[in-house]
């Protein structure tokens, strides 16, 4: 979850899918140690720290790096944190329990469990419980009437009444099921429907049916005084931010927990026959729909992938000042819990960095043919927008030196150079791009080859955007802090010459220059205009989004 006025892709309870399917045979060797990588990452954190729990059958080890605990006397495993979207796994287990008890069926439409006087469009009413749980309902990530009174605690005032108001007016573009597209709204609605199915509050359902039977005493929504004393302080970069509270959308990400509780939860899922969750876990872990671009699938909430020949079940989470990750490998009896109280890094990516299989060695190709030399006109034929899925795309443009530059959504442009007809190699990372053509010889797609994986993308009719590449000294004019509200600040930085903008409670995203002092995001429809005084000094930035212009004066350091 994450949400601020700049409603970025990260505005919601987040989920990061990181596992791939092309793997070598399984191995009985223990996984690569995570702690050295985490300790190194903690050194670069502006605040907060990591807690790691590693499960090996019945043995659990805990470690911390940085400063995650509110007090030095709180053991790493007992520090309380917001688990964000890992809550969805708990919600899915509740759904499975309802199905196994014949209270509901996965094929039941949502209208069956909503008030009879709540009039919905036919396609909305027909959405099923399974489609909510597999992100195939077509519901957006967040409702269109999501306008938080407090951007730093954005879900607190989103009530059931607002949820119903949205459902009354929403009309999907196409009937469900649709390709899986992550929806916090969908899981929030599922949690609410489960409340109506059981006629009990969501928190009580979680307690009575999951946490109490498993002995997860610290996995709750509302903290008692003792848990509050152990609650980690959430951070966005170097700034402390508010904890998040959820009302109607609790099923999407309201739970707090500890590494010790999640480790115990993981052990229960690794050996479900020994717990009351056997039938529910069996139902939710069944692969149901493809998800992402690397051969992964979704069960009910749970992500399913393969690594080193072994099935890996996983889910990540994120709120305004927390990031978390849970993975289970039943074949080895091992599981990992990793969280940090900062929005700067994604634990899932750190785990993938250590445990993904090494890329296969490149096959030498003997050739006396030199790399092709392409004219500017020839390079221009490769420019355009190439869609990977509903949320990610490659964009190709001509750079300042009349060379091809590519970016992936949420990342800066990187230069590429031709190495063979229709094949390019990145200059700054180990990646290659292979452009494909249709029967008429027109470019119709591109395939990324990286770390032994392939990611295909389809060319669209959308033209390449106009982008101005800044001179090396230009980004420095914009660096600094800009006060949007009393609690929200834009932090403008550079990375390798690219301008990045971070809003309190959200990660930093690159922005791209389209005119002097004008920049756009590529993760959401939003733009920034920097203002200057009579002397030419940058004095403010204006956010343009959703028809609103919000000015943020520059803060003097």
Looking at residue 358, its pLDDT comes to 60
Q: What is the DSSP letter of 209?
A: I
Residue where the block lists tokens 């609605």 = 189
Looking at residue 392, its pLDDT comes to 85
Residue among 356, 298, 350, 347 at smallest CA distance from 20: 356
Task: Tell me the C-alpha distance between 398 and 396, whole Å.
Answer: 7
Task: Tell me the C-alpha distance between 212 and 109, whole Å.
Answer: 30
Element (H, E) at 338: strand 334-340
Looking at residue 73, its pLDDT comes to 92
Looking at residue 360, its pLDDT comes to 54
Looking at residue 389, its pLDDT comes to 79
Burial readout 233-261 (b: 16 or more C-beta within 10 A, e: otherwise): bbbbbebebbbbbbbbbbbbbbbbbbbbb
241-251, pLDDT tens digit by residue?
999 999 999 99
Stretches in the chain below the pLDDT threshold 50: 1-15, 17-27, 365
Report CA torsion sign: 187, 189, 345, 518. Answer: positive
Looking at residue 371, its pLDDT comes to 79
Report CA torsion sign: 352, 354, 356, 362. Answer: positive
Task: Tell me the C-alpha distance between 425 and 415, whole Å.
Answer: 9
């Amino acid at each position: 979850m994450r949400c601020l006025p700049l409603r970025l892709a990260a505005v919601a309870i987040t989920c990061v899918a990181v596992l791939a399917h092309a793997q070598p045979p399984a191995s009985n060797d223990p996984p690569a140690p995570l702690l050295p990588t985490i300790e190194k990452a903690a050194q670069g954190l502006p605040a907060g720290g990591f807690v790691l729990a590693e499960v090996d059958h019945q043995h659990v080890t805990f470690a911390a790096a940085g400063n995650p605990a509110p007090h030095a006397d709180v053991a790493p495993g007992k520090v309380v944190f917001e688990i964000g979207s890992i809550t969805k796994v708990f919600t899915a287990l509740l759904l499975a329990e309802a199905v196994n008890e014949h209270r509901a069926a996965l094929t039941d439409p949502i209208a069956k469990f909503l008030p009879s006087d709540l009039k919905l469009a036919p396609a909305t009413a027909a959405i099923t419980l399974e489609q909510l749980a597999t992100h195939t309902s077509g519901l957006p990530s967040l409702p269109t009437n999501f306008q938080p009174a407090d951007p730093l605690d954005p879900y607190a005032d989103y009530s059931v009444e607002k949820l119903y108001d949205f459902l009354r007016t929403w009309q999907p573009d196409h009937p469900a099921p649709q390709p899986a597209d992550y929806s916090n709204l969908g899981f929030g609605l599922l949690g609410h429907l489960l409340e109506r199915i059981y006629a009990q509050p969501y928190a009580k359902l979680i307690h009575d049916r999951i946490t109490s039977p498993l002995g997860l005493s610290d996995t709750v929504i509302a903290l008692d005084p003792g848990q509050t004393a152990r609650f980690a302080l959430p951070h966005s970069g170097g700034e402390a931010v508010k904890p998040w509270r959820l009302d109607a959308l609790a099923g999407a990400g309201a739970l707090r927990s500890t590494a010790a509780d999640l480790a115990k939860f993981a052990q229960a899922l690794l050996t479900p026959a020994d717990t009351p969750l056997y039938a529910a876990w069996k139902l939710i872990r069944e692969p149901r729909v493809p998800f992402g671009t690397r051969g992964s699938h979704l069960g009910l909430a749970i992500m399913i992938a393969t690594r080193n020949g072994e099935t890996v079940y996983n889910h990540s989470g994120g709120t305004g000042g927390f990031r978390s990750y849970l993975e289970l490998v039943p074949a080895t009896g091992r599981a990992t819990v990793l969280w940090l109280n900062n929005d700067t890094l994604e634990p899932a990516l750190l785990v993938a960095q250590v445990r993904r299989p090494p890329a296969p060695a490149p096959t030498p190709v003997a050739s006396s043919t030199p790399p092709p030399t392409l004219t500017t006109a020839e390079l221009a034929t490769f420019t355009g927008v190439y869609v990977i899925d509903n949320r990610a795309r490659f964009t190709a443009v001509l750079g300042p030196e009349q060379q091809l530059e590519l970016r992936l959504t949420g990342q800066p442009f990187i230069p590429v150079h031709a190495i063979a007809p229709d094949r390019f190699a990145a200059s700054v990372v180990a990646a290659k791009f292979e452009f494909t053509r249709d029967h008429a010889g027109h470019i119709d797609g591109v395939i990324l080859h990286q770390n032994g994986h392939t990611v295909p993308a389809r060319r669209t009719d959308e033209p390449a955007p106009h982008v101005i590449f800044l001179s090396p000294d230009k980004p420095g004019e914009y660096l600094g802090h800009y006060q949007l509200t009393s609690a929200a600040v834009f932090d403008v930085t550079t990375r390798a010459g690219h301008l990045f903008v971070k809003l309190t409670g959200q990660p930093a995203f690159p922005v791209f220059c389209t005119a002097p002092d004008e920049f756009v995001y590529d993760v959401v429809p939003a733009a920034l205009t920097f203002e200057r005084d009579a002397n030419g000094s940058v004095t403010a930035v204006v956010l343009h989004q959703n028809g609103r212009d919000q000015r943020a004066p520059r803060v003097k350091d």
